[in-house]
Chains A and B, each alone.
Chain A
Amino acid sequence: NAGVTQTPKFQVLKTGQSMTLQCAQDMNHEYMSWYRQDPGMGLRLIHYSVGAGITDQGEVPNGYNVSRSTTEDFPLRLLSAAPSQTSVYFCASRPNRENYEQYFGPGTRLTVT
Chain B
Amino acid sequence: RKEVEQDPGPFNVPEGATVAFNCTYSNSASQSFFWYRQDCRKEPKLLMSVYSSGNEDGRFTAQLNRASQYISLLIRDSKLSDSATYLCVVNSDTGRRALTFGSGTRLQVQP
Interface residue ranges, A against B (CB under 8 Å): 31, 33, 35, 40-45, 48, 50, 56, 58-59, 90, 97-98, 100-107
Interface extent on B, as a size class?
Answer: 20 to 34
| Most chain B CB inside 10 Å of its own CB: which residue of A33, A56, A103, A104 | A104
In the complex formed, the residue of B with least CB distance to A50 is B97
Q: Is B45 an interface residue (CB 8 A)?
A: yes
8 shortest interchain CB distances as A-B pairs: A104-B43, A43-B101, A42-B103, A97-B97, A42-B101, A100-B32, A45-B98, A104-B44
Q: List 18 A-B contacts (CB under 8 A).
A: A33-B98, A35-B101, A40-B103, A42-B87, A42-B101, A42-B103, A42-B104, A43-B87, A45-B93, A50-B97, A58-B96, A90-B43, A90-B44, A100-B34, A100-B91, A101-B34, A104-B44, A107-B43
A residues near B96, Cβ cutoff 8 Å:
45, 48, 56, 58
Contact between chains at B97 and A106 (CB < 8 Å)? no
| Most chain A CB inside 10 Å of its own CB: which residue of B45, B97, B104 | B97
Interface residue ranges, B against A (CB under 8 Å): 4, 8, 32, 34, 42-46, 49, 87, 91, 93, 96-99, 101-104
Binding site of B, secondary structure by majority: helix, strand, loop or mixed? Answer: strand
| Min C-beta distance of B78 to chain A, whole Å | 24
CA distance A31 to B43 in the complex (A): 18
| Most chain B CB inside 10 Å of its own CB: which residue of A59, A102, A103, A106 | A102
A residues near B43, Cβ cutoff 8 Å:
90, 104-107
Contact between chains at A58 and B98 (CB < 8 Å)? yes
CA distance A58 to B100 in the complex (A): 11
In the complex formed, the residue of B with least CB distance to A107 is B43
| Min C-beta distance of B39 to chain A, whole Å | 11
CA distance A58 to B32 in the complex (A): 19
In the complex formed, the residue of B with least CB distance to A94 is B99
In the complex formed, the residue of B with least CB distance to A88 is B41
